[in-house]
Amino acid sequence: MKKLFAIALIVLFVAPAALADFYSWENGGTILGSYGNLVDPTNVTGPQVGAQGSTLPDYTCPGALTGERYLHVAEDPHASTPYAIVAWVSGCLDGDAITASVYGYDVTEGSSPSVRIWGGYTGPTDPNDYLASAGSTGDYTAGTGWDITESMWTYAGGDGNGLAIQARLYSTPSTGDPEHTDFFIDDVTVTAPPNCTVHFPEAGVPVEEATWTNIKALYR
């Protein structure tokens, strides 16, 4: 028995199990941060109509991929490549193997608008303390509806110890004002070793609570 225990300890030490964390916006949260011309991050439910620049037709996202809630963000006006931070990993050590995926709703096959996952090395205490690009092995969403974009990283951010998981927004035309493109995002999965902590957007104000406040205000 002792021998088995010792073997188990060795196995744990040599090959710590990577843990997967999942987030699907069901807590009413939005994003952990953003960069560039990202506007109007909102937690939404049900069908949502979105615009795809000023020259492309509107489209409708039928609803969440999982659960009832999902994320809306927009790029307005179009410029550079904005991103939403949809997850953040802290406590990372050089050499850590980290994978992440996120889904974007994309109806333009082989062209923008599209979402692409990307990594950013950050400082140890703030997902918005950007230090350097961590790149991505992931591709753009395919354009067949809810599409996955996923990447793996071998952590090389040194003393920063943080990795921001970005959902990058690619609009068409890539620059222009006035231009407005809506994006819909759901289902983030992050797999990281046990020394890491995975953070997701914090809970928003419950819809019921906000509604009750409004009702009470009517009778004051």
Q: Is 45 a binder of Ca ion (CB under 5 A)?
A: no
| Proportion of the chain in helix, strand, coil states, percent, rounded to 5 | 15, 45, 40
Closest to Ca ion by CB, 67 vs 194, is 67
Per-residue binder mask for Ca ion (CB under 5 A), 51-90, x = binder: -------------x-xx-xx--------------------
Q: Is 186 a binder of Ca ion (CB under 5 A)?
A: yes
Closest to Ca ion by CB, 146 vs 155, is 146
Residues linked to residue 97 through DSSP beta bridges, in sequence order: 154
The nearest distance, CB 31 to Ca ion, in angstroms, is 14
Closest to Ca ion by CB, 16 vs 46, is 46
DSSP category for residue 140: B
Place of tokens 């109806």: 107
DSSP category for residue 17: P
Q: Is 128 a binder of Ca ion (CB under 5 A)?
A: no
Closest to Ca ion by CB, 24 vs 151, is 24
DSSP E strands in the chain: the ranges are: 19-23, 33-35, 38-45, 48-52, 56-61, 69-75, 83-90, 97-106, 114-122, 130-135, 145-154, 162-170, 181-192, 197-199
Task: By CB under 5 A, name the binding residues for Ca ion.
Answer: 24-25, 64, 66-67, 69-70, 186
